[in-house]
Every structure is written in structure tokens, then in C-alpha cells.
Amino acid sequence: MQLSLTVALLSTAALAHAENAPRAWGLKATSTEPISLTAAATAVGAAPTVALNATAVNCFVTLPANPLSAEGLATPFILQPPCSQSVNGQQSFAEATILDPATGALSVYHPLVMDAGTTPLAANVVPQLPANAVVGLWFGFNGGVLQLQDANGLTTNTSPSLKGADCVNGLPGVAGDVFGQVSWCGAQAFFAATNKAIAAGLTVIPPLGTDTLGNPCPTSRSFEITDACPSDNVPTQYLLNPVTRQTSQDTVANRAANANATVINNASDEALLANIIDPLIGCTPFQAPSIDNPGVMSSALALSEIQANQLQAAPIGLVPLNDPDCLLTGAGTVSADKTNAYRLGVNQPITSGNAAATVDPTGVTGALVPYCNNMVAVGPPFFAGFQNVFINQGTPAANVGNNLFTFLCERYLMSLTQLVCPPAAFQPVVCQVDGNGAATSCVITLNGTTTTNTTGTAMPTGTAVAPVATTSTTTSKTGFHHGWRHRHRKNKY
């Protein structure tokens, strides 16, 4: 099927409904809110007993029984109060990727997350799954910590149904330990089956292709893209009625029937690559047919990680041991076990345990020094090569940079600090920031040559290229959040 990308101009005004302060890609926001182990579950359509609170950053989503079945996927997942999908920093997202083991075909389905006490803005599309389908389910969040629970309020460590679906929210078996924004169900079985189908020649992975400069297109594991917290969150979008707080799947039919709805989305590394950077540099993301939006191809975290696992050349940006998502929640210390639990959820090999390695082209050790060195060696030349393209694009996060170029440069510098990287012998990127810490201009020096035209014109938040659920050019009513990744540990790098 021919791939069709459309362009959405995403307005700043449409983001104004959020009560939360801006969040940023790769930032870990300090939270004094304790991480609860349980939350009262509210059924579909039932009135919540807890008041909404727009300042909350830690939320719960209630999953139905058998969440990996067709019925479970089609049943709305419930965002529990005090959180609401109408608040940017509390918006939660789900994404399933499905393998047909007989043919190797892959498809994508977007289960709906909706507020407790509401009904869907439009009825969910019920997926027709192939026989013996293998389903993986991933979650993303725009706040601090998102935890999964069942209808009885039991979490992934205590719920029989969630444990049966192999749902993982943090280090398995450790009460209160969380990754933060991300979690998944059935990921290991899905990737094992898909990798087997690839080896058997059933599932065919498209080539990366080359960008407009003649270089291999980046993957989610390219150091052109990776930050302190790689391979996280999902490129899912929903429609939201900000008045009634109702949400629906983002489909052609639902957009036509709900002209006043806005688009909300998960600020993710996967979306940054597939929806923003790839179209700008002449690359095409790996996509599969959307089950909930027939006739439209969809990106997905699982697809990105499958392609990267097969085709990413060294150096490879696997999840490092110092990734804040992989530090023990209680102690804040490095944990190989938790890093491995995270890696298994995104189709990556477990670490070799050599945290002291200084050279690691495959990323298997998870060691800090080679990860940092590879960021410094690979990222800045990529930013400089596409500077004239990026500088004229809107920023995904106005509190990080005033256009896409300054955003990428400052995100890179922030990540080095957040990871506590040793100082580089020479740091090629220098940014000037405003009073709020957002980069307004950046200079990159490579081999003694400094880039020019570094300031550019500040572009409105959200005027980035993004896919929409139509087959023709359209203007989205919202778009990428001005706060991309609000985190629960560190606020500034």
C-alpha cells in the first residue's frame, strides 16, 4: 500500500486549554506527590467519587479483563480521578501492535483511554484479530508516573489478570517501583513471535532508506535521535471534546462527526522521529495498517523498535543503565535488573553487566561513558547538517527551544546533564537561553568550523509536521504538546 503522510499546522492557541505548566522532552520534573500503590477504580460511565485535580502528575489507568483480546482492546481504558484527559500533563495513551503468526502481517490498533464518569465521544472500532494473533500493548503518558490497575484496583504486581497479560509497570515484583510514563502488556511474547516471523521470512522489514544528505535514515536507536530516556512513549493520538472531557479514537470518521474536537497526543521519542523529523529529512517511518482507522497507515513504538533492532548500524543507542526510567524508584540508583526489564519491553538485548566499559558500539553493556561519547560524536553533526531545515520549523516544546533546531540542541545538552555524563573533551554545541531556560540560539562547531545563521526566527509552538488521520491535507485543532515529556525525578539538567 502506498504510504500517505499529511501535514498538520498545529496552533499555539489550541493548546491553551491545559492547566499544567509546560513540560519538556527528556525532562524529569521533581514531584512531591507520593507514588500510590492503589487507586479506586471507577467503571465506564459511573460517576467518579474523587474530585479532579489539574495539578496531579501521577495517575492510574484501569484496564479491562483480558486486555490483549479483541474485546479487551475495544473496551475503553479508564483514566481515574483526580486525573483527566482534558489536562495536558495527565493525558494517557495506549497503542497495540498485532502480529498474524500465519502470514507475518503486522497491524496497529489504538485502544481508547477516557476519563472516569464519561462515555466515548464515538464508539470504539472493535478489532477483528487474526487467528492466534499475538498482541503487544504499550502505554504512554504526558505526566509524571502512570500506573496500570485492574477493576479491583490491583496493580501489575498483584493483579491476576494483569500478571496474566504480562503487564509491566516497573521492576517486576517490587512494590512501588515504576518506570514512570511507560508500561506495557504482552511485549516480550509479541517481540519473540515477531522476531521469529522475521527470521522465517514471513515478516518483511522495510529498508531504512537514505535522507536528503545521503545518510542512512535514523531509527529510534540512532544517536541522532536518542536522549537521556530513549525508546519511550507512543505516537498515539485521540480526539478530545474539551468541554465534556469525552475522547475517541482519532479516525477519519470521528473527525468528520466531531468538527469541534481537538487532537491530543503523546509527546514521545517515537513521535519525534516518525511524525516530525522523518518527513523533514526525506525519510519514511515503518508503518502498518491501522485497524481502528481503515485505509490509513500508522506508526507505532513496536514498529520503530522492530526496524531498529534489525537495521540500526553501530553505534547503537540502547537504553543505558543511567536512564532515569531505569533507576530504582526508591533509591534512585542504577539497577541492571530494572534496565533489563525495560529493554525487554522494547525489543532490546539485556545488558552484559559491564557498566565500566568505555567503548561499546552495540550498546549491549548499557555503560554510561560510551553512550555519552556517542551522543556527542553523532548528534551535533546531524543537527548541523539539517540546521537550515530545522530552524524554520516550530518547536515541539517552547520551554526547551524556540524552533526545532534549538529544541534538538538544548534537548541534547539537557540529556548529557541528566545522565551525569563526564564532561566532553570538546563540547560542539553551545546554546543561549532566555530567562525561562529555553534556547533561543545555538552554535555548533565541527572540526573548527562554526555553523552560521544560528538564531533564526522563533517559530510558534506546534507548527511541526505531524500525521493526521485523514488522507488529505488538513489543519489540526491542536497537535504536539508544548510540554513534551514531564518527568518525575529531575526538572533541569
* pLDDT, tens digit (0-9, with 9 covering 90-100), for 234-256: 999 999 999 999 999 999 999 99
What does the pLDDT read at residue 448? 75
Q: 107 falls in which pLDDT band (50, 70, 90)? A: very high
Strands 106-109 and 113-115, bridge-based pairing: unpaired
Q: 306 falls in which pLDDT band (50, 70, 90)? A: very high
Cβ-based neighbours of 164, under 8 Å, separated by 6 or more: none
Cβ(482)–Cβ(399) below 8 Å: yes
CB neighbourhood size of 349 (10 A): 15
Q: How far is residue 455 from each of residues 392, 405, 431, measured CA to CA in Å?
A: 10, 9, 10
Q: Compute the distance between CA of residue 347 and CA of residue 230 in angstroms, rounded to an integer.
A: 13
Q: Compute the distance between CA of residue 441 and CA of residue 436 in angstroms, rounded to an integer.
A: 14
Q: Compute the distance between CA of residue 438 and CA of residue 121 in angstroms, rounded to an integer.
A: 36
Question: Tell me, what amino acid is at 485?
Answer: R
Q: Compute the distance between CA of residue 260 and CA of residue 424 in angstroms, rounded to an integer.
A: 50
Across all residues in the chain, what is the average pLDDT?
86
Cell of 262: 481537538
Cβ(113)–Cβ(93) below 8 Å: yes
What does the pLDDT read at residue 22? 36
Cβ(304)–Cβ(286) below 8 Å: yes
pLDDT tens by residue, 404-450: 999 999 999 999 999 999 999 999 999 999 999 999 999 999 987 77
Cell of 316: 547503537
What does the pLDDT read at residue 36? 62
Q: Compute the distance between CA of residue 477 and CA of residue 84 in angstroms, rounded to an integer.
A: 19
What does the pLDDT read at residue 450? 75
Q: Report residue 265 CA to chain centroid gap.
A: 10
Q: Higher pLDDT residue, 30 or 337?
A: 337
pLDDT at residue 475 tops 90:
no
What does the pLDDT read at residue 94? 98
The whole model's pTM is what?
A: 0.87
What does the pLDDT read at residue 451? 72
Q: Compute the distance between CA of residue 223 and CA of residue 227 in angstroms, rounded to an integer.
A: 8
Cβ(269)–Cβ(233) below 8 Å: yes
CA angle 216, 219, 224 (to 5 degrees): 75
pLDDT tens by residue, 312-336: 999 999 999 999 999 999 999 999 9
Q: Higher pLDDT residue, 115 or 468?
A: 115
Overall residue count recorded for the chain in this entry:
493
List, edge to edge, every strand of the sheet that includes 449-450.
429-433, 439-446, 449-450
pLDDT tens by residue, 134-150: 999 999 999 999 999 99
Q: 361 falls in which pLDDT band (50, 70, 90)? A: very high
pLDDT tens by residue, 32-50: 455 566 666 655 555 667 8
CA angle 312, 222, 274 (to 5 degrees): 95
What does the pLDDT read at residue 7? 24
Counting Cβ atoms within 10 Å, is residue 454 exposed (0-12), middle (13-18) or buried (19+)? buried
